[in-house]
Amino acid sequence: MSNLILYLDPFVLAYALTLLVEIPLLYLVTRKRAKASLILATGIIMNTCTLPVVWFILPGWLEGGAYVLVSEVFAVVIEFVIIRFILSLDSRTAFLGSFLANMGSFLFGILIFGPPV
């Protein structure tokens, strides 16, 4: 049980930091096309769907550079779909929102925690 708690604490921190970075970036891209409350909900939903997979499932299958690449592509693609349908946006805007949000949190993570590999 204590191992689970030790692993979840960094996850909760990563989840909170991801939301703090990604939601404002998503808002910047989508603010003219969606209500702020729906953008906020979308940011929470998309990260709740993708971050557990990136943290708890993919590390069991991949490591190193492959893990980083697959994790980021996975997050961008799944979050693109979520943004596209919840916010009813065109594909270009939804992809831009997903890509910008994920690259922002990826770069923020590097600044705070160092390179992932």
In terms of Cα–Cα distance, which of 16, 31, 46, 30 is closest to 97? 30
pLDDT in tens, 39-68: 999 999 999 999 999 999 999 999 999 999
pLDDT in tens, 1-46: 556 555 568 889 899 999 999 999 999 999 999 999 999 999 999 9
Q: How many domains does the chain have?
A: 1
pTM of model > 0.75: yes
70 neighbors 62 (Cβ within 8 angstroms): yes
* Residue-number span of the structural domain to which 16 is assigned: 2-113
